[in-house]
A and B are shown apart, each in its own frame.
Chain A
């Protein structure tokens, strides 16, 4: 493969990862606040369909994107309502919504199947696009991909560098400590669930109006992306930058599968495409295994030098969830 083709391919990877980045960033925010929004898969499908439908009907891309965000926010609001106000299991609600929103998207999207709609045009940045290597890679993308780049850092800065970010972290880690300092825990949780949902909702139109323009129902290849985004949130250790890395890694592996297709004619294409998914479990395993009790016990039995080395490796891989994740907070 020529260097040129490689760069174009990689640029495509960055663009294809865009939706996953949005979803992972949104879910990271939600889970940082202590809420699990398991509906991501369904939300993305529903928002993809809705935004496409709106864009096709109105001809406006902007309205399409707004619709996507709105849909994401609304579904997340349902999750928040169930889990915070009605104190029902977050897992149950999220899971049901994941299935129901998916079916809703197929049902309501039926009339729009196969239609061609507006598509976000590429927007090369003059000047920057001519930088060797980085130019074609980063600066010949469309608006949404640029937004995904920017959002990674904005989200990271928000969580780790601002005062509201501190409140967010505290709400997810130890809501009692936040509460005693005057922070309104449940209100913040609802807010970040909805905000995170809006970001997840942005992933939908990022597909249907950009990366994989159009709505093709069950064969759109979108089904499953939401679950990946959830796994990437864990893999990313609830850190926006690490999560984005996970998203890019995933998209890269998918692209690699396509590329290797030519050199591995015996292996069916579908297999290579699905291959990144099992790698995800391996990643989850590596990321969690440091936490288990038997590992801690085995480590305790090892000689000091080996133990410290292994412990350091495990600690760098380790993803510690926000301590209060999934635990409802009772304001006495």
Chain B
């Protein structure tokens, strides 16, 4: 089925997630969609799969306009979306998940479904046990199940959103083989990913999105450098670089391994010294957030050692980390960072020094006013935080951080802010650095990573690169690493191809 996206526009408030995207995909194509976080890929796919309505623009299928208002419409049109976290029902069996939602009589048509399931699975080399419970399956298997289910429903367009995160190499090969077969049968595949090698090996064409626009298309043979350049663009002037004078290490991670539902991260060994800024780069979900949270004591690694100023901290509570001068700023502003229902003064009262029983409302209000001024927050001390815009909530989160921290851990510190605010905020952070704080931050903005970090660690699929000096790393190198290129074969322990002079592992 041929898919035409015509001039798709979608905005969320002032943010233009999709800014006039037009893309034509002939039937039987495997179309790659590349882009960094926030480029607009997921919004576009949500529109195509019925979860969002475009503000403007049209979708044409097989030369005729399609009216997609809900995910159920896409079923009618034959569009199927395979989510990163497949939408299945974990406590139910594979077979029941397969046939759930199909019309029928009182009794589920198990026999017919089982036949279809085993036949489809066999055709693609998938190993699916109809009687197994979905919650016991690996992510890869759940994907396979969802894929055959969509095919059984007659999907002629398949959208796959980052499908190879958390699946084994074998499952990946099976998936790619099946996708190739499906495209030969005339089905259209849209493959959304950030993994350059996979996209290059699988897709017939590639479209690159950046900041809500379609910045370019490519056909094989692919030039990785060109793709990276389209994805990430060039560095912008971001103010002066802080000259790092590193002192003693504040934080040391020694062979730390973290296990998550979807992946294993590590072993990672890194350190952060006073006045240093360490950037953790990579696409979301590559493990950097897990490592950052382990540094805060929120996640307990299954292996390895964590030391703060030399003291072993593995297994200690998050509040113990806080007491030792660690500060943590989460990315999910309203879910984890701020308290909807309380105003700014109350937030500052919460995080201020508590002197005794009485609530020092005046002092808190004064502090709120100071910080509002200092961080240019558009709000008043009595504004409830949920009424602030996203960018101002971000500033509030930064303003709430305590003074004189030894280690500051930030998740996406400037997300949702315009470029001027980014520079401004980093001036403040650099000031903290000068006073002796070490900073480790996670960001999907390569410019930010390159410009403000002293050293960078790149994350890809749970693997961590040794420390790279930011001064001598280029956007292209970083982009390639983030996209999965330039890493040693899994069993090797060599440094990546990029320059990696002194500065790996522990400083001694």
- Chain A interface residues (CB < 8 Å from chain B): 161-164, 166-167, 169-170, 173-174, 176-183, 320, 323, 332
Sampled A-B contacts (22; CB under 8 Å): A161-B107, A162-B106, A163-B99, A163-B104, A164-B106, A169-B89, A170-B92, A173-B90, A173-B91, A174-B88, A174-B90, A176-B87, A177-B87, A177-B100, A178-B100, A178-B101, A179-B71, A180-B72, A182-B101, A183-B101, A320-B91, A323-B91
Q: Mark B65-105, 1 if CB is under 8 A from A, else 0.
A: 00000011001000000000001111110001001111011
Q: Mark B380-394, 1 if CB is under 8 A from A, else 0.
A: 000000000000000
Tell which of B71, B72, B92 touches A166, judged by Cβ atoms closer than 8 Å.
Answer: B92
Query: Which A residues touch B89, using CB under 8 A?
Result: 169-170, 173-174, 177-178
Please tell me if B176 contacts chain A, counting CB pairs below 8 Å: no
State A232–B87 Cα separation when bound (angstroms). 31
Tell which of A164, A169, A182 touches B92, judged by Cβ atoms closer than 8 Å.
Answer: A169
The answer to whether A167 touches B90 (Cβ under 8 A) is no
Query: Which B residues touch A178, using CB under 8 A?
Result: 89, 100-101
Report the 8 A-B pairs with minimum CB-CB distance, sorted nearest first. A181-B101, A177-B87, A163-B108, A170-B89, A180-B71, A174-B89, A182-B72, A173-B89
The answer to whether B100 touches A170 (Cβ under 8 A) is yes
Query: Which B residues touch A180, using CB under 8 A?
Result: 71-72, 87
Please tell me if B51 contacts chain A, counting CB pairs below 8 Å: yes
| Smallest CB separation, B331 vs chain A (Å) | 22
State A286–B166 Cα separation when bound (angstroms). 35
Query: Which A residues touch B75, using CB under 8 A?
Result: 182
The count of residues in chain B whose C-beta lies closer than 8 Å to any C-beta of chain A is 22
Chain A residue at smallest Cβ distance from B149: A181
State A310–B105 Cα separation when bound (angstroms). 42
Tell which of A163, A182, A332 touches B105, judged by Cβ atoms closer than 8 Å.
Answer: A163
State A241–B105 Cα separation when bound (angstroms). 24
Chain B residue at smallest Cβ distance from A174: B89
The answer to whether B51 touches A166 (Cβ under 8 A) is no
State A59–B14 Cα separation when bound (angstroms). 69
The answer to whether B92 touches A167 (Cβ under 8 A) is no
Query: Which A residues touch B99, using CB under 8 A?
Result: 163, 166
Chain B residue at smallest Cβ distance from A320: B91
| Smallest CB separation, A327 vs chain B (Å) | 15
State A154–B104 Cα separation when bound (angstroms). 20
Chain A residue at smallest Cβ distance from B105: A163
The answer to whether B108 touches A162 (Cβ under 8 A) is yes
State A269–B75 Cα separation when bound (angstroms). 63
Query: Which B residues touch A176, using CB under 8 A?
Result: 87
| Smallest CB separation, A160 vs chain B (Å) | 10
Instruction: Identify which of residues 126-157 in chain B touch chain A, using a CB-to-CB cut-off of 8 Å.
Output: none
The answer to whether B100 touches A332 (Cβ under 8 A) is no
State A76–B266 Cα separation when bound (angstroms). 52
Tell which of B51, B72, B91 touches A169, judged by Cβ atoms closer than 8 Å.
Answer: B91
Report if A174-B108 is in contact (Cβ < 8 Å); known contacts: A167-B100, A179-B71, A180-B71. Answer: no
| Smallest CB separation, A174 vs chain B (Å) | 5
Chain B residue at smallest Cβ distance from A158: B106
| Smallest CB separation, B108 vs chain A (Å) | 4
Query: Which A residues touch B71, using CB under 8 A?
Result: 179-180
Instruction: Identify which of residues 106-136 in chain B touch chain A, using a CB-to-CB cut-off of 8 Å.
Output: 106-109
Query: Which A residues touch B100, using CB under 8 A?
Result: 166-167, 170, 177-178, 181, 183
Query: Which B residues touch A179, using CB under 8 A?
Result: 71-72
The answer to whether B101 touches A173 (Cβ under 8 A) is no
Query: Which A residues touch B91, using CB under 8 A?
Result: 169, 173, 320, 323
State A320–B52 Cα separation when bound (angstroms). 33
In this complex, the member of B52, B75, B101 whose beta carbon has the largest number of chain A beta carbons within 10 angstroms is: B101
Query: Which A residues touch B90, using CB under 8 A?
Result: 173-174, 323
Query: Which A residues touch B92, using CB under 8 A?
Result: 166, 169-170, 173
Query: Which B residues touch A181, using CB under 8 A?
Result: 100-101
Query: Which A residues touch B105, using CB under 8 A?
Result: 163
The answer to whether B87 touches A167 (Cβ under 8 A) is no
State A132–B299 Cα separation when bound (angstroms). 62
The answer to whether B104 touches A177 (Cβ under 8 A) is no
State A256–B51 Cα separation when bound (angstroms). 57
Query: Which B residues touch A166, using CB under 8 A?
Result: 92, 96, 99-100, 108
State A162–B101 Cα separation when bound (angstroms). 12
Chain A residue at smallest Cβ distance from B83: A180
The answer to whether A163 touches B107 (Cβ under 8 A) is yes
Query: Which A residues touch B52, using CB under 8 A?
Result: 332
State A250–B72 Cα separation when bound (angstroms). 45
Chain B residue at smallest Cβ distance from A322: B91
| Smallest CB separation, A229 vs chain B (Å) | 23
Query: Which B residues touch A323, using CB under 8 A?
Result: 90-91
The answer to whether A163 touches B106 (Cβ under 8 A) is yes
| Smallest CB separation, B93 vs chain A (Å) | 10
| Smallest CB separation, B299 vs chain A (Å) | 13
| Smallest CB separation, B144 vs chain A (Å) | 16
Report if A167-B51 is in contact (Cβ < 8 Å); known contacts: A174-B89, A320-B91. Answer: no
Query: Which B residues touch A332, using CB under 8 A?
Result: 51-52
The answer to whether A174 touches B87 (Cβ under 8 A) is yes
| Smallest CB separation, A206 vs chain B (Å) | 28
The answer to whether B88 touches A177 (Cβ under 8 A) is yes
State A23–B99 Cα separation when bound (angstroms). 31
| Smallest CB separation, B314 vs chain A (Å) | 14
| Smallest CB separation, B288 vs chain A (Å) | 25
Report if A162-B107 is in contact (Cβ < 8 Å); known contacts: A183-B101, A332-B51. Answer: yes
Query: Which B residues touch A164, using CB under 8 A?
Result: 106
State A169–B91 Cα separation when bound (angstroms). 9
State A173–B97 Cα separation when bound (angstroms). 12
Other than A163-B108, A178-B89, A181-B100, give 5 A-B pairs with Cβ distance below 8 A. Answer: A162-B108, A163-B99, A163-B105, A166-B100, A180-B71
State A174–B87 Cα separation when bound (angstroms). 8
Chain A residue at smallest Cβ distance from B300: A297
| Smallest CB separation, B456 vs chain A (Å) | 34
State A86–B71 Cα separation when bound (angstroms). 24
Query: Which A residues touch B109, using CB under 8 A?
Result: 163
Query: Which B residues touch A173, using CB under 8 A?
Result: 89-92
In this complex, the member of B87, B89, B102 whose beta carbon has the largest number of chain A beta carbons within 10 angstroms is: B89
State A166–B92 Cα separation when bound (angstroms). 9
State A285–B476 Cα separation when bound (angstroms). 57
Chain B residue at smallest Cβ distance from A173: B89
In this complex, the member of A167, A178, A179, A181 whose beta carbon has the largest number of chain B beta carbons within 10 angstroms is: A181
Chain A residue at smallest Cβ distance from B80: A180
